[in-house]
Amino acid sequence: MKTIITFGTFDVFHIGHIKILKRAKELGDRLIVGVSSDRLNFSKKSRNPVYCQDQRLEIINSLKFVDEVFVEDSLEKKLEYIKEFKADVLVMGDDWLGKFDFLKSYCDVVYLERTPSISTTEIIEKIATA
C-alpha cells in the first residue's frame, strides 16, 4: 500500500486542481489531501478564500480519487503530517520546486507540472472585472 500526500487551498475549484490530484493518485494507492485552513490561506495569499474551509474540504473529499482529507493549519507541519498519515510520497506543484527537498530522507518528494494558464487568483480577477 503506497500512500501519497499533497497540500493546497483548492479554492474556486478548477481543472488544474483536478489534474494534479488525479496524477498524484496515479503515483500510489491512497491519496491524502491537506486542505489549507482559512487562516493559513490568509497568511499565504493575504486574502480570504471565496469558499470556507469546510466547503473546500467537502468538495475535495467528494472526488473519487481522493481517499482522505484533513485541515492543514501550518506550512511548517509537513513532516508531522507525513508521519501521521505514514505517507510514502509527498506531491507538490512545481511552483514549489526544490522547496521540500529537505523531506527526502522521510519520503519521496515529487513535483508535478502545473496546468498552464489557470489559477484561482486569475479566475477571481476575471470575474471581478467582468
What's the CA gap between 64 and 22, in Å, rounded? 9
What's the CA gap between 50 and 38, in Å, rounded? 10
Binding footprint of ligand CTP, residue count (CB under 6 A): 16
What's the CA gap between 86 and 118, in Å, rounded? 32
Which residue number, 84 or 95, has a Cβ lying nearer to ligand CTP? 95
Residue ranges in 59-118 that form contacts with ligand CTP under rule CB under 6 A: 92-93, 95, 114-115, 118
Which residue number, 16 or 28, has a Cβ lying nearer to ligand CTP? 16
Show the site string, 4-33: x = touches ligand CTP by CB under 6 A, - = not: ----xxx-----xx--x-------------
Sheet holding 89-93, edge to edge: 68-72, 30-36, 3-8, 89-93, 108-112
Instruction: List all residues 6 or more positions away from 130 whose beta carbon is below 8 Å from its beta carbon.
Output: none
Of the candidates 22, 27, 30, 45, which one interacts with ligand CTP according to CB under 6 A? 45
Q: CB of 57: closest distance to ligand CTP in angstroms?
A: 13
Candidates 59-67, 71-79, 100-108, 119-127: pick the segment binding ligand CTP (CB under 6 A): 119-127
What's the CA gap between 33 and 99, in Å, rounded? 18
Q: Which residues bind ligand CTP (CB under 6 A)?
A: 8-10, 16-17, 20, 45, 92-93, 95, 114-115, 118-121
